Amino acid sequence: MDFSVWMGTIQERSENTLDRLLPAAHIAPQRLHQAMRYAALRGGKRVRPILCHAVGEICAADPGRLDVAAAAVELIHIYSLVHDDLPSMDNDVLRRGKPTCHVEFDEATALLVGDALQSLAFQLLAEQETGENAARQLAMISLLAHSSGSRGMAGGQAIDLAAVGQTLSLEELELMHIRKTGALIRAAVLLGAYCGKPLTAPEMARLDHFGKVLGLLFQVADDILDSESTTATLGKTAGKDAAQNKPTYVSLLGVVRAREKAAELRAATHESIAPFGEAALRLHQLTDFICDRSF
Amino acid sequence: MDFSVWMGTIQERSENTLDRLLPAAHIAPQRLHQAMRYAALRGGKRVRPILCHAVGEICAADPGRLDVAAAAVELIHIYSLVHDDLPSMDNDVLRRGKPTCHVEFDEATALLVGDALQSLAFQLLAEQETGENAARQLAMISLLAHSSGSRGMAGGQAIDLAAVGQTLSLEELELMHIRKTGALIRAAVLLGAYCGKPLTAPEMARLDHFGKVLGLLFQVADDILDSESTTATLGKTAGKDAAQNKPTYVSLLGVVRAREKAAELRAATHESIAPFGEAALRLHQLTDFICDRSF
């Protein structure tokens, strides 16, 4: 199956899974549930679910288990976008081509939407069968919680806040991204692995490394995309980081060296999963797709 | 041991446990970790941890397990206070006698503090040994996630938001409180039970009922306390609900009937745990303590 067709099927599965697992809009409190569904459905590239499913091919994971794990990590991602768009954070009005959640509803509702989406992510991992046994499900919850928290995604956002108007070194910028975006990308990779037959410790370490490098690659590609796109093609406010005087790979390195950096990371990403052979085909294709969005 | 002495020891255990389980203030991102510790430590009545430990006496639960379960439910409670105090919600400047988190730090940090405290609660329940086996720990995570989410606490807050300036019936007010405050009170009770030797289904149902009635009693007592106190004695802004035109038991029933309601709930609470005999001593005492704060 062609990669873009395969990706389309996973995006559709993800949409259907979220639709099924989110509370129905007619269940009380209706406005909150409507807002949760507004934020979560019909939009988004579903990179993390696709990643989860691509890793699942390496370890012969059950697609139904992958659906739940992918939904959990995507819910964490979505909640972070809803909170990130709030006036006290990035103050953004456009997301995925639609008004952001607090613009469409109101700030208080958007705050609760994010809070409730986070709870739902952990509820799914605890209630749905995602791993071979309860101990493995606990490991998945621990991983996702750690990746989301103060030493993961939320911590990366805190560093990002502190960086506005600051001059960061490349190392500091990477540390910020490793937490802000990288932690959840890595979690998507490892959650996919937990859904299948147990891998060896070296295999898990390889996937762990792959997840970390891919996370950085994703961010460099995103910075290049953001610097060169218009708001219309991007579906969110373009050039925002530059306007807010936030450091990016492009502002720090210039676009030429940022592209070189992306090319290096791309090669390192492919290399890290080469030992998996044919089973890693989708992961290789996804890596190329993430790069070719922007160059 | 006198109840107030026992309660003091549990409050001290709770403080020490939170201090131990929260990220240290010198770990990066320092400002976020300082703000998480500011919000969580040195304050609060620790009603939910005390409840957890009191239930633990019924089922001979290990105190170390109870400490972790109690910390998890308290972290959820604390995150909800931090978000509830934000300008887009209750816009409160005083909590536990101190400036609220967004006043002491800033709004964006307070938002991330709440987000990261929620992740930490689930991380603790997944990583620390709280139940006899992994399956029971999953049940505890499921319970806490459901109690926190859109059909629990966050949902209750959404109903509360929608109720500002509205006339609610007593039934609607109770439905709101069952979710907003009651769900987490009930979770504290059941988490305490999960930490010990397995109870029978009727015993669990009895505790479940106890948790629900106690949650309402707690809210009625809180409304009476709020209507009659000054800001100085309360440590948070007094008379806030009335000023915001929010319905309360006192505004709906008047203070005399609100007290009668509290007395009825108090009797029902005691009755629900009477079959546990002497083992429920601390629960009976805690019920009385909750009531006698205000009358």
Contacting residues for A235 by C-beta, under 8 A, at least 6 apart: A43, A94, A95, A96, A97
Of A162-176, A211-225, B63-77, highest mean pLDDT:
B63-77
What is the residue range of B217's domain? Answer: 3-289
Q: How far, in Å, are B14, B16, B37 from residue B19 at the CA level?
A: 8, 5, 8
The pLDDT of residue B295 is 38
Determine the 3-state secondary structure of B266 from DSSP: helix
Cα distance between residue B139 and residue B40, in whole Å: 25
Number of helical (H) and strand (E) elements in chain A, helices listed first: 15, 2
The pLDDT of residue A136 is 95
Nearest CA in chain B to A91: B108
Question: For the purposes of burial, counting CB atoms within 10 Å of the CB of A3, is it exposed (0-12), middle (13-18) or buried (19 or more)?
Answer: middle
Q: Mean pLDDT across the stretch B194-207?
A: 96
CB proximity under 8 Å: A 145-174 to B: 145-146, 148-152, 154-155, 157-159, 161-162
Nearest CA in chain B to A102: B88
- Interstrand relation of A94-95 and B98-99 (parallel, antiparallel or unpaired): unpaired
Q: Mean pLDDT across the stretch B94-118?
A: 96
Contact B138, A138 (CB under 8 A): yes
Contact A144, A183 (CB under 8 A): no
Cα distance between residue A62 and residue A81, in whole Å: 29
| Closest in A115, A145, A150 to B122, CB measured | A145
Residue A204 corresponds to which amino acid?
M
The number of folded domains in chain B is 1
In-domain check, residue B213: yes
The pLDDT of residue B170 is 86
The pLDDT of residue A294 is 45
In-domain check, residue B295: no
The pLDDT of residue A146 is 98
pLDDT digits (tens, 9 = 90+) for A47-71: 999 999 999 999 999 999 999 999 9
pLDDT digits (tens, 9 = 90+) for B109-135: 999 999 999 999 999 999 998 878 999
Q: Which residues pair with A99 in a beta bridge?
A: A94
Q: Which of B245, B241, B204 is nearest to B219 (CA)?
A: B241
The pLDDT of residue A246 is 76
Write out B62-95 in H/E/C secondary structure.
Answer: CHHHHHHHHHHHHHHHHHHHHHHCCCCCCCCCEE
Q: Mean pLDDT across the stretch B85-94?
A: 95
Contact B189, B51 (CB under 8 A): yes
In-domain check, residue A12: yes
Cut 0.80: pTM above it: yes
pLDDT digits (tens, 9 = 90+) for A78-103: 999 999 999 999 999 999 889 999 99
Q: What is the CATH number of the domain that holds B17?
A: 1.10.600.10
ipTM summary value: 0.94
Residue with tokens 């992994």, as numbered in its chain: B134
In-domain check, residue B18: yes
Tell me what percent of the residues of chain B surpass a pLDDT of 70: 94
Contact B15, B41 (CB under 8 A): yes
CB proximity under 8 Å: B 35-54 to A: 36
Number of helical (H) and strand (E) elements in chain B, helices listed first: 15, 2
The pLDDT of residue B158 is 95
Q: How many CB atoms lie under 10 A from the CB of residue A292?
A: 10
The answer, yes or no, to whether residue A243 has pLDDT greater than 80, is: no
The answer, yes or no, to whether residue B294 has pLDDT greater than 50, is: no
In-domain check, residue B180: yes
CB proximity under 8 Å: A 101-120 to B: 106-109, 111-112, 114-116, 118-120
pLDDT digits (tens, 9 = 90+) for B240-272: 666 667 788 998 899 999 999 999 999 999 999
pLDDT digits (tens, 9 = 90+) for A267-284: 999 999 999 999 999 999
The more confidently predicted of residues B76 and A295 is B76
The pLDDT of residue A44 is 87
Q: Mean pLDDT across the stretch A126-140?
A: 92
| Closest in A36, A106, A125 to B150, CB measured | A36
Contact A155 B115 (CB under 8 A): no
Residue B97 corresponds to which amino acid?
G
In-domain check, residue A288: no
Question: For the purposes of burial, counting CB atoms within 10 Å of the CB of B183, is it exposed (0-12), middle (13-18) or buried (19 or more)?
Answer: buried
Q: Which of A113, A112, A107, A89 is nearest to A41 (CA)?
A: A113
Residue A88: list chain B partners with CB under 8 A: 86, 106-108, 111
Distance from first CA to last CA of chain B, Å, rounded?
24
The more confidently predicted of residues B168 and A34 is A34
For testing contact with chain B, the best of A30, A115, A141 (most B CBs within 10 A): A115
In-domain check, residue B294: no
Contact A161 B135 (CB under 8 A): no
Contacting residues for A124 by C-beta, under 8 A, at least 6 apart: A21, A68, A71, A72, A75
Residue with tokens 């493995």, as numbered in its chain: A136
Average pLDDT, chain B: 92
